[in-house]
A and B are shown apart, each in its own frame.
Chain A
Amino acid sequence: MSDTPASEKTMALQDKPHPPKSGHAGFLKNNLRDYGMMISLFAIMIFFEIVTNGTLLRPLNLTNLVLQNSYIVIMALGMLLVIVTGHIDLSVGSVAGFIGAVAAVLIVKFGVHYIPAALICLALGALIGAAQGYWVAYFKIPSFIVTLAGMLVFKGLALAILAGQSVGPFPVEFQKLSSGFIPELIPDVTTLYPTSLAIGALLALVLVWQNVRNRARQESHGIETEPYGFFIGKNLLLLAVIIYFAYLIASHRGLPNVLVIITALVALYAFVTTRTTIGRQIYAVGGNEKAAKLSGIKTERLTFLTFVNMGVLAALAGLVFAARLNTATPKAGLGFELDVIAACFIGGASAYGGVGRVGGAVIGALIMGVMNNGMSILGIGIDYQQVIKGLVLLGAVCLDVYNQRRS
């Protein structure tokens, strides 16, 4: 507050909202919303690690965890943008299932090479997104209705083109999309994969270095930063956690290909949402569409594009899922949309639009994934798993609303 002009001090300030608290406790309290989800994820992981007697974080299980949730994370990235613009997409599960079926028919039945087939599928996903986005953005038909229709249409189409049968198996190269691992550069290793560990360590260092650089830049421009001790602690923890997970992953079979895809996508979407004009404009559309429009933002086009983007990501998820099962079944994708939407809301996105972060959606997806996995290990039936997941979703959103109301 050293730059406060003198005139300001004479103003009546008794109603001034929330002067920034100093000190670690105060900082944590003010930023509870940002860190709360991360803390919850850790708490849930530690809880299951203990009650499953260490099974959760076994290298094999951790790798499985990644593979099992990859398609949810991929779709959560698209869903986050859709939710931020104030809409919803209920069709993603059906679309993913439909695209998996198209891929199977193209590759298995017609013998199309898997690369052009995959590209055709992604393009088809874009087209589906465009078809739905068109009605939502330009005709102002509620997205709930348009995508509910889409959900039925694509579920039916998947059934139709598969003729009710499972189609498979896929060529080995295609399966690698989700069950493959990156090649090991150092020959003849069996217990630990050094390349994967090195990539993990490098990623951790890059992230920390970026944080340090950001902080230095912010400080040089007099922006308030988090307390120094907190910053150091946070980054050490980040470093330790990523390297530890890299170590676990590296001691099974190395980095799964799909984890590489996810990491790249998360980085890309985090960058687009926080640093680019299009990201900023998407948040503006969700925050106040009319104000955004009167500020020269093409609100319809942006809404349309978020649906196209969602379609592409749903298609990608459909390919990953089909590759993982090594077959396309009429039931593929059933109920995915619920997990994806839940991931976004657990991750702090607002149902009213304008609020939500990529990191939050990913953490939300991981919370759901860890709970699925942990409860399966514990032998809790699918019945009570759903009950518990539902309550967690409600609880997370209630907590978020409570936190917001308090501030």
Chain B
Amino acid sequence: MNALLEMQGISKHFTGVKALSDVSFTVAPGEIHALVGENGAGKSTLMKVLSGVYPHGSYDGAIVFDGEERRFRDIIDSEALGIIIIHQELALVPLMSIAENIFIANPPGRFGIIDRGAVHRRTQELLAKVGLNESPDTLITNIGVGKQQLVEIAKALSKKVRLLILDEPTASLSEKDSQALLDLLLEFKAQGIASILISHKLNEVSRVADRITVLRDGRTVDTLDCSDGAVEEDRIIRRMVDRDLEHRYPKREPKIGETIFRVSDWSAYHPLHTDRQMIRNVDFEVKRGEIVGIAGLMGAGRTEFAMSVFGRSYGQKITGRVEIEGREADVSTVRRAIDAGLAYVTEDRKHLGLLLAEDIRKNISLANLDRIAPGRVIDDVQELKVASDYRSRMRIRCHSVYQETGKLSGGNQQKVVLSKWLFTDPKVLILDEPTRGIDVGAKYEIYCIINELADSGRGVVVISSEMPELLGICDRICVMNEGAFVGEFPAAEATQEKIMRAIMRKGEARP
């Protein structure tokens, strides 16, 4: 059997991080090939290499498509061969219609004048193919995410697709929409279109995939063939996380004291839709020296909860009570929340955490300038001392504290953000996805820092989508779903299955 696609020995570096090393990956004609792995395992990077987002020359290895070696300069080159990628973040223009979006690059017509009749007709054909019952003139902003996903696929079909790449297509879809989408993939398969499916949802993967390739830390670990009976999910998971778990998380003897942080009856509404309650009368508490994890799926309301508490940075009509060290705390603005002893380390450090064009020194002092600026004039020697001190304490790898933070690796950037918040001397830290986009070695260091924070008598909250991480570092794990806490486990009793079950039985279990 001749492979449709062969990626041979692909390696790709980023500043300080090896994202892919010697990955090989093949797709047969008309095959659904799933690509699984933890966050940061290299799935998206591999697909960006394939689609030409990272052009030939920026990686090592070869891409053979249809028996010929290909050197894509950009995404246009790969699309010309029928390799179409649909990214996790949909790339549709919200205020244009479905038809306009589908034919955004190459509308049918002559001499640059769009043939609107043809656009309409062909859009209708495509929408029928993907089973979307909407008028071609409907604006994208007026349809839900599930339908938008179908529009993306219709757009791909308009380009004579031969290999369709879907990056976590069902991550934000409801169960029903997900099923419909997967059925569509099976239908394409029958028509001879091959697909690469990147997904975290193993039940979906094992339902539709012909083969499953597991990536771990930028390497191909295994390719499992599903033709001889379904592959057990446990086996996939084992291959995904198969690391020496003993050494992934630093050991710690928790010394847990009295309650340091208590949130009671906390509610918040969506910032735009006033009647959508995002956080539903939540109660939450953290003890001194304790690391509490918050588990949940994307959109469960974890970040929204944390940000609404931290100076009302999210939502509106926020009500509830916050106590820090037994006293009611005023957290109505970010400044007051910081002064009350609260710190929130964002999940999106590039957009919400760092001044990327500024140096390490200025980033670290930013949230507590008053401490190095008596009389509002900055004492630059003091500032430098502070920065140098955190540089060595946090082991920030840089050639000087005057280095721009935009040029640091993800792990070192995260250490700068953590330094910034430690410099505010918080009593309670909320860390939102603290190890996202960070390589394994740096993760370990971040875990050590988290442990030290707890051991120094602070309360630590860790929001994470990586369950093994929560199980590895937390003393207690709370599970959140649809804006409410739906379960709680001491670390010793928690397992991935239990957490998952707590998330799944949402509807029936809520009091």
Show the binding face of A for B, using Cβ within 8 Å.
1, 5, 7-8, 11-12, 15-20, 217, 221, 223-224, 275-278, 280-281, 283-284, 287-288, 290-298, 354-355
Contact = CB atoms under 8 A, between A and B. Distances in A.
B344 A294 contact: yes
Given A288-B351, A291-B355, A280 B381 contact: no
B351 A5 contact: no
Contact of B16 (A12, A275, A355): A12
Contact of B354 (A12, A16, A291): A291
Contacts of B358: 283-284, 287, 354
Contacts of B354: 288, 291
A221 B381 contact: yes
A100 to B, nearest CB: 34
Interface of B: 13-16, 18, 310-311, 313, 333-335, 337-338, 344, 346, 351-358, 362, 365-367, 369-370, 373, 376-378, 380-381, 384-385, 392, 395, 397, 399-400, 402-403, 407, 420
Contacts of A284: 355, 358, 362, 366
A290 B357 contact: no
Contacts of B355: 283-284, 287-288, 291-292, 354
A277 B334 contact: no
Contact of B378 (A275, A287, A294): A275
Contacts of B407: 17-18
B352 A291 contact: yes
A224 B402 CA distance: 9
B463 to A, nearest CB: 15
Main secondary structure of the interface of A (DSSP, over half): loop
A1 B400 CA distance: 8
B384 A223 contact: yes
Given A224-B402, A288-B355, A295-B367, 20 more contacts: A5-B392, A16-B16, A17-B15, A17-B403, A221-B381, A277-B370, A277-B377, A280-B366, A284-B355, A284-B366, A287-B358, A288-B351, A291-B355, A292-B366, A293-B334, A294-B344, A295-B366, A296-B338, A354-B358, A355-B357
A138 B353 CA distance: 22
Contact of B369 (A11, A221, A277): A277
B334 A1 contact: no
A19 B16 CA distance: 14
14 contacts: A15-B13, A221-B381, A221-B384, A221-B385, A275-B377, A276-B373, A277-B370, A283-B358, A288-B351, A292-B366, A294-B313, A295-B338, A296-B333, A354-B358
A276 B377 contact: yes
Contacts of A278: 376
A96 B331 CA distance: 43
Contacts of A293: 313, 334
Contacts of A283: 355, 358
Contacts of A19: 399
Contacts of A5: 392, 395
B445 to A, nearest CB: 11
Nearest to B15: A15
Nearest to B313: A294
A290 B352 contact: yes
Most A C-beta atoms less than 10 A away, residue of B338, B355, B392, B403:
B355
Given A221-B384, A288-B354, A296 B376 contact: no
Nearest to B383: A280
A294 B353 contact: yes
Contacts of B376: 276-278
Contacts of A292: 355, 366
A308 B402 CA distance: 32
A5 B398 CA distance: 11
A19 to B, nearest CB: 6
Most B C-beta atoms less than 10 A away, residue of A20, A284, A295:
A295
A277 B357 contact: no
Contacts of A294: 310-311, 313, 334, 344, 346, 352-353
A292 B362 CA distance: 12
Give 10 closest A-B pairs by Cβ, nearest first.
Answer: A295-B367, A287-B355, A296-B335, A277-B369, A296-B334, A296-B338, A17-B407, A277-B373, A15-B15, A295-B366
A209 B370 CA distance: 28
A277 B352 contact: no
Contacts of B395: 5, 7
A56 B155 CA distance: 64
Contacts of B392: 5
